[in-house]
Amino acid sequence: YWVFGYGSLIWKPPPVYEERIPGFIKGHVRRFWQHSTDHRGTVESPGRVVTLIPVEEWKLMEDYHDHKDGITWGVAYKINEKDVEKIKAYLDYREKVCIEARVCGYTIHYADVYQLGHDEPIVKNAVVYIATTKNESYIGPASLESIALQIHQSVGPSGPNNEYLFNLASALRELAPDAHDSHLFDLEKEVLEL
């Protein structure tokens, strides 16, 4: 059982795992287009956290950042069979996965994980938690300044929203120094200047 993380799972892994492999998935764009009212913001002052937008859907949107390589870097975690149920429950709670028939939070998807220099995936069908554009907390694109200000001002039960941004940017630099994520790094720069 493998789980791929592209947000806070990069620096705050599941409590138990067997193996950690840096890599990327294809066909998605990482964006701070998801409201957080439970971790990095509140109902009164929502924060913003990342989700993945399918590239084909993203191409139809107005976005100020490019996405040249069409890949999203993150980390794949191998979960021991004896821990799968416990980790699934932990992640489903952490990612606010819908158990009822309504649309909310992140939903479970599957993706192959690759590494540079390998044509074949190093992990097939890893679980990926994605908040689709149809979930109730999807906020969508906005100007760099607007997103940065919202992140700068928001604080939730898990801490300041800018801490989430800075941790993600730092972890991604360490994980994949050549990764191209202008959305993330431009936001980091903008928030640091506020």
Which residues are catalytic, by number? Answer: 95
3-state secondary structure 95-111: CCCCCCCCCCCCEEEEE
For residue 122, the SS3 value is coil
Q: Return the bridge partners of 34, or none.
A: 49, 138
Distance CA 194, CA 94 (A): 29
> Which residues sit opposite 24 in a β-bridge?
73, 114
Structure tokens at 65: 């950042």
The enclosing H or E element of 75 equals strand 71-78
Kindly compute the dihedral angle of the four CA atoms of residues 39, 29, 175, 194, in this order, to the nearest 10 degrees. -60
| Distance of alpha carbon 29 from alpha carbon 165, whole angstroms | 16
Residue with tokens 């908040």: 131
